[in-house]
Amino acid sequence: MENRAEKIQDYIDGLLLGEELIQFEKQIAEDEDLKVEVSLQQELQGIIRSRLNSNEKILRTHMQNARILSQSTKGSSKKVYKLYLPIAAVACLLVFFSLFLLRNSDSGLYDLPTMQSEIVRGQEENVSYEHAVKAFNNKEYEQARTMLDILITADSTIVQYQYYAALTYFGEENWAQSIQELTPLAEGKSIFADEAKYYLAVAYHKTEQKDKAIALLNEIPAQGKVGQKASKLLKELK
């Protein structure tokens, strides 16, 4: 279980490369439970980062404590117990924040997600990615796309580069190009497939292709934040 959790985290952090990355994405495509686990982990980390950016320093302290304790744990039951205390605290905060965000998300059906920072660790690639994050979240979409295109050229196997690059066209309300770029992602098997379907459906809606939009939204599983947004948008379109 621990190895599975570590592998999920490495995938989210962009640490899986080459054959290991290919094999893990194949597992995600074949294992619906694993796909849901990865999606939930990404969603939780997004909430954590969002709260950290809002000066919720206590979350950072809990996560740092959890990391330190996990590194020092060698099978001792007491240490394992201590390890889960800060994690449980974070989980409680996340439940509260999740409920709060869901209550206030009705008006955000057409909003782009916040591009997550620190997904990719490294040197030059990390710097370029962080520049792309800053530009994307500041709605400087052309600049973000330029940085992401460079990263895609360097490593075309990292799907999140392609996903956010596609969303830059969505942010510019370039619906035709959004449809072109999001379609292969929506048809793929990556963890971003359902999110790509959602934004592709919005792009179809914006271009008055209502039937295509509804068909895509019906393909998105009901669970999770994306599924809830899809259900709300379906009600608007019908």
pLDDT at 124: 61
Dihedral angle over CA of 171, 125, 28, 219, nearest 10? 10
Q: What tens digit of pLDDT does each residue of 210-223 get?
A: 999 999 999 999 98
Q: Above 90 in pLDDT, residue 85?
A: no
- Give me the pLDDT at residue 116, please: 84
- What's the number of CA atoms in the CB half-sphere (13 Å) around residue 105? 20
pTM, full prediction: 0.59
Does residue 68 surpass a pLDDT of 80? no
Span 21-47, pLDDT tens digits: 888 888 888 888 888 888 888 877 776
Q: Are 69 and 79 in contact (CB under 8 A)?
A: yes
Share of the chain above pLDDT 90, in %: 45
List of domains in the chain: 2-103 (no CATH), 106-237 (1.25.40.10)
144-152 — which CB contacts under 8 Å span 24+ positions? 144/115, 144/168, 145/169, 151/125
Rounded mean pLDDT of the chain? 79
Name the amino acid, one letter, at 220: I
Query: What confidence score (pLDDT) does residue 80 get?
Result: 43
Cα four-point dihedral sign 231, 92, 111, 184? negative
More confident: 183 or 16: 183
User: Residues 182, 196: contact at Cβ < 8 Å?
Assistant: yes
Higher pLDDT, 105 or 186: 186
Question: What mean pLDDT is predicted for residues 229-238?
Answer: 92
Q: Residue 39 has what pLDDT?
A: 83
For residues 73-79, average pLDDT: 46
Each residue's pLDDT tens digit, 173-192: 999 999 999 999 999 999 99
List Cα–Cα distances, 206 to 68, 174, 197, in angstroms: 48, 10, 14
DSSP 76: -
Mean pLDDT calculated for residue range 79-90? 48
